[in-house]
């Protein structure tokens, strides 16, 4: 197995679900770039093509991408409010992906979006939603904005500020 973001997420989830803790000892063979600049990321878990957990950070909260993946992997497996915690029986069928985000940039209108290339963040007052790019069933900018607004609890017609970002997706 390659020693990249997905391998780290898998190792962390399996350790957390089976022992309640993080992997012990030094995790060797991880790419050096994961210990450099901090970046936001999302860890997604799926079973049979269906989402099982997804938690992430738009901007980094940890000192390295390595630590950001570690924290978000634990959260995706145990703290996604849409799902119960992952069980040991599910570990053998989980599929993992890790999306590493670029810094968000403000945009003025939806013409600056592309559902395949850009994720989107919408904000209206205290309400904020984020949607990753290139998701199944999200094939138009209108649908992307509808889903992200619904996630944020933003009603149609409410004024929104938009930002876009790109991802490097690891599967």
Same domain for 86 and 30, yes or no, is: yes
pLDDT for residue 25: 66
Let me know whether 81 and 61 are in one domain: yes
Residue in this structure with the two tokens 């989402």, named with its chain if needed: 51
Asked whether residue 92 falls in the same domain as residue 110, the answer is: no
pLDDT means per 10 residues in the chain (171 residues)? 81 96 75 84 97 96 93 98 97 97 96 98 97 95 96 94 97 93
Write down which residue in 50, 81, 101 finishes a domain: 101
Burial class (CB in 10 A: 0-12, 13-18, 19+), 24: exposed
First to last CA, the chain: 12
- Predicted pLDDT of residue 85: 98
114/89 same-domain check: no
Q: What is the pTM of this model?
A: 0.92
pLDDT at 101: 97
Q: What is the reported pLDDT for 142?
A: 96
Q: What is the pLDDT of residue 151?
A: 93
Q: Are residues 9 and 83 in the same domain?
A: yes
User: What CATH number is associated with residue 150?
Assistant: 3.30.1490.150
Same domain, yes or no: 93 and 123:
no
Residues 26, 57: one domain? yes
Q: Based on the domain organization, do 83 and 151 belong to the same domain? A: no
pLDDT at 47: 98
Q: Look at residue 72 in the predicted model and tell me its pLDDT.
A: 98
Of 76, 101, 126, the residue that ends a domain is 101
pLDDT at 1: 38
Q: Are residues 91 and 146 in the same domain?
A: no
Q: Please say which residue of 59, 81, 101 terminates a domain.
A: 101
Which CATH number belongs to the domain containing residue 94 in this structure?
3.30.700.20
The total number of structural domains that make up the chain: 2
Same domain, 54 and 35: yes
The pLDDT value given to residue 3: 67
With contact defined as beta carbons under 8 Å apart, do 138 and 31 qualify? Answer: no
Structure tokens at 119: 């994720």
Instruction: Let me know whether 27 and 97 are in one domain.
Output: yes
| Domain span holding position 122 | 105-170
Calculate Rg over the CA atoms of the chain. Answer: 16
Residue 164 CB coordination number (10 Å):
19
Question: Do 93 and 112 share a domain, yes or no?
Answer: no
Instruction: Spell out the SS3 assignment of the chain.
Output: CCCCHHHHHHHHHHHHHHHCCCCCCCCCCCCHHHHCCCCCEEEEEEECCEEEEEEECCCCCCCCHHHHHHHHHHHHHHCCCCCCCCCHHHHHHCEEEEEEECCCEEECCHHHCCCCCCEEEEEECCEEEEECCCCCCCCCHHHHHHHHHHHHCCCCCCCCEEEEECEEEEC
């Amino acid at each position: 197995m390659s020693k990249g973001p997905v391998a780290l997420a898998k190792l962390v989830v399996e350790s957390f679900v089976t022992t309640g803790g993080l992997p012990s000892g030094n995790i060797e063979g991880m790419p050096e770039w994961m210990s450099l600049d901090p970046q936001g990321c999302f860890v997604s878990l799926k079973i049979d093509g269906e989402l099982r957990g997804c938690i992430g950070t738009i901007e980094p909260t940890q000192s390295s991408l390595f630590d950001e993946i570690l924290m978000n992997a634990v959260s995706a497996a145990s703290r996604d409010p849409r799902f119960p915690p992952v069980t040991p029986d599910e570990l053998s069928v989980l599929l993992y992906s890790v999306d590493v985000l670029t810094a968000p940039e403000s945009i003025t209108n939806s013409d600056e979006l592309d559902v395949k290339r850009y994720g989107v963040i919408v904000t209206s007052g205290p309400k904020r939603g984020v949607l990753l790019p290139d998701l199944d069933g999200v094939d138009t900018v209108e649908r992307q904005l509808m889903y992200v607004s619904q996630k944020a609890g933003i009603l149609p017609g409410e004024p929104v500020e938009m930002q876009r970002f790109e991802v490097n997706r690891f599967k």
